[in-house]
């Protein structure tokens, strides 16, 4: 069992978690502004991200914490974290090592554009 999160009560009180206790994490490359990926955080993931400076998320499929790059080496050094106005999302600005996406593309959105103006 994980022990309760050490996230400060000040921050914890501002989070608006979903039914699974998670907030969305938008991850942006600090230097270029590229949006790299969307991930999810529970309180402990946010606490570890803030305290270690290494981006740490909660995997919904594996139901556990993961440090980004812990197996791939494609780590994210966290430069800043901001909470949004209604507390259900954080924005991480990071320095990404290697590709951000597990498929090997630079971002999780690379090459996946949807047709605009073609839907009838």
Binding site for its own copies (CB under 8 A): 6-8, 11, 18-19, 24, 26, 28, 32-35, 37-38, 47, 50-51, 53, 78-86, 88-91, 101-103, 105, 108-110, 112-120
- Least distance in Å: CB of 35 to its own copies? 5
Q: How far is CA 77 from the centre of its chain?
A: 12
- Least distance in Å: CB of 1 to its own copies? 21
Residue 1 or 114: the one with the smaller Cβ distance to its own copies is: 114
Measured distance CA(19)–CA(23) in Å, rounded: 10
């Amino acid at each position: 069992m994980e022990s309760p999160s050490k996230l400060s009560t000040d921050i914890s009180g501002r989070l608006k978690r979903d039914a699974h206790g998670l907030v969305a994490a938008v991850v942006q490359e600090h230097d270029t502004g590229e949006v790299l990926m969307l991930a999810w955080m529970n309180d402990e993931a946010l606490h570890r991200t803030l305290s270690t400076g290494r981006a740490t998320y909660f995997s919904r499929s594996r139901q556990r914490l993961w440090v980004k790059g812990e197996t791939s080496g494609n780590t994210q050094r966290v430069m800043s974290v901001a909470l949004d106005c209604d507390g259900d999302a954080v924005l991480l600005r990071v320095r990404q090592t290697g590709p951000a996406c597990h498929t090997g593309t630079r971002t999780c959105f690379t090459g996946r554009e949807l047709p605009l103006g073609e839907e009838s």
